Chain A
Amino acid sequence: MSSLIDKPTGFCGPIQALEGDAVLVERLYEIGLTPHEWVKIKQKMVLQGPLIIGFRQATFALRREEAQCIKV
């Protein structure tokens, strides 16, 4: 199980688990990023910038430490 942050742009796969800071994990749940949900990396901004991810009909920008919580 690796973090979403380690995957390349274009990766698409199901979430295995959410781990890390409790507040971050809770917010990820709340926006609909739950285990078994499919998530796609649309873009990874340069210079350690945020990741642009898509799931269902939604697009979100996540910081790297936030993407680190998503295990795929």
Chain B
Amino acid sequence: MSIIENFDVYAPRLVDQEEFYAAGHRACGGCGEALAIRLMCKAMGRDTIVTNATGCMEVTACMYPTTAWNLPWIHVAFPNSASVGAGVESALKALRRKGKIADRYVQTVSIGGDGGTVDIGLQALSGAMERGHDMLYVCFDNEAYMNTGIQRSGATPFGASTTTAPAGDESFGKKAWKKNVTEIILAHNVPYVATACVSYPFDFMNKVKKAREIKGPCYIHCMAPCPTGWRLPMGDCIKIGRLAVETGVCPLYEVENGKYKITVDMLEPLRPVIDYLKPQGRFRHLTPEKIEEIQARVIMECNKIKNKVDSLQSWDELG
């Protein structure tokens, strides 16, 4: 895909060397989410305020009296990162207008895990997106409530075994398909939504930078593999993220003013989904029939996106 030879070798030099999310936090070895946050902060830069939902990233990074955050950071509770962000954004607006803080733009970024975003925090997120706050929300999706011990969430994929949707003689794990929150947020008519994966750092950081420049509410749904919860060796986090993209499980795209664009080309044909499922302990119980079912669904979901890319025009063109 890259047009420059050895782009991946040279590209890190393009990234800001300053660390806003310091080493020494207490996340598990090989944590995809911690890495994704570090990249997000680099893309955002100094003039950023982060609001954080309760979850892994909150408990591991800010144990009193220490903090891994070298950006202003506020955590209040589990379901309300977006509403806290709405409050921060509004305060910045008012205080700047009244001359009570420095007269320059500071971006509010609200972050949460999949539980804090697609389940318990969905209402707060919907409210903030609907009201049009000038903020970015990033969901770091590791596909279960990892902080509390791998319970299923609305973002847990079909067939995954979790501690509240376990596989057993009478169960194949989670029976429902993953909730598509990216599309739900897009239905709020926000100017920018995107999917991302920590294994594609430049794609993710470019999207964060783009969202930073766009006025109004933006949403990025970033897959952040969790070796602990996915039952993987801790060194395989990046590899499994790449497999998620190559198999079409996690298609990378963005939607700007209603216009869909695939940002990392889908393989043609897609890599078989079994390559992604097999290394992960959470899928080890799946029968060939169930894997077939997942394969069919993945192809269909990718086709849905391709169909939108081909057929949907930008809202600017429609109006």
Is B truly associated with A?
no
Which of A's residues lie within 8 Å of B, judged by CB?
none
